[in-house]
Amino acid sequence: MLRSLSKRIAFLVCEKTDLLPLEIYVYGFELIISSIIETGALLLVGFLIGKFVETILFLVSFSSIRFFSGGYHANSYFKCFAVTLVNYFLVLLLYNNLRNFSANMITVFTLVVFILSLVIFIKFCPVKNNGRTIINSQKQKGLAIIALCTNIVLAGVLFYIFKSNILIIVLPTIFMVDTLIVIEKIKQGVVKNGKENEENNCNDGITFNNLCCCIFLWLYE
């Protein structure tokens, strides 16, 4: 349904003389439409449960960091939305618990999240999916770290200026971004190891067959 709608829009927008392939436009419209649906659905959920402002902060923080850092991506838009929805509720759960912490405990938690995130970003970012990247890896890593630092510094400064616990939601959001990065790296490692094992098994099979042929020829002679 999403793809067919994207194709219709692409046919209407694109001209026959356009230099770019139609599939690029289709893919772009798929991303735009799915993002609008996902954002609208989360805002609606946030409004219904009385967490509208928190939802906006979650979306801004999550999107601004993840755009550069990368991380786990599901293989369909529905699964992607389901993963985002689960992350959203986990962030709200952590946020509700953090609100009961003292200012000193929140400061300690902020430092822990920042140091942990910095290590993960330096080590793993950017996490590429299907080999796609918009800029070179080093620039993307730098922008991911800048986005991380900007979110933490702004949230910290505004928290101490306005004394509003609502800004604490940025911390569990960053933690979930870290989690998605680690999950994707583990997934890529498992897939890579699986392919290597298959190649080794194939090589072993070829070697065994060659050995059998050699033995057969030796016996035949």
pLDDT tens per residue across span 172-218: 999 999 999 999 888 887 656 655 555 555 444 444 444 344 433 34
pLDDT at 79: 84
Token code pair at residue 70: 């990368």
d(CA 133, CA 131): 7
pLDDT at 205: 44
What SS3 class is residue 127? Answer: strand
Q: What is the pTM of this model?
A: 0.76
Token code pair at residue 132: 């796609």
Residues 167-176 as b or e (16 or more Cβ within 10 Å = b): bbbbbbbbbb
Return the amino acid letter for 165. Answer: N
pLDDT bin (cut points 50, 70, 90) of residue 167 is confident
pLDDT at 28: 73
**Number of helices followed by number of strands (H, E) in the chain:** 7, 0
Mean pLDDT of the chain: 78
pLDDT at 191: 53
d(CA 161, CA 168): 13
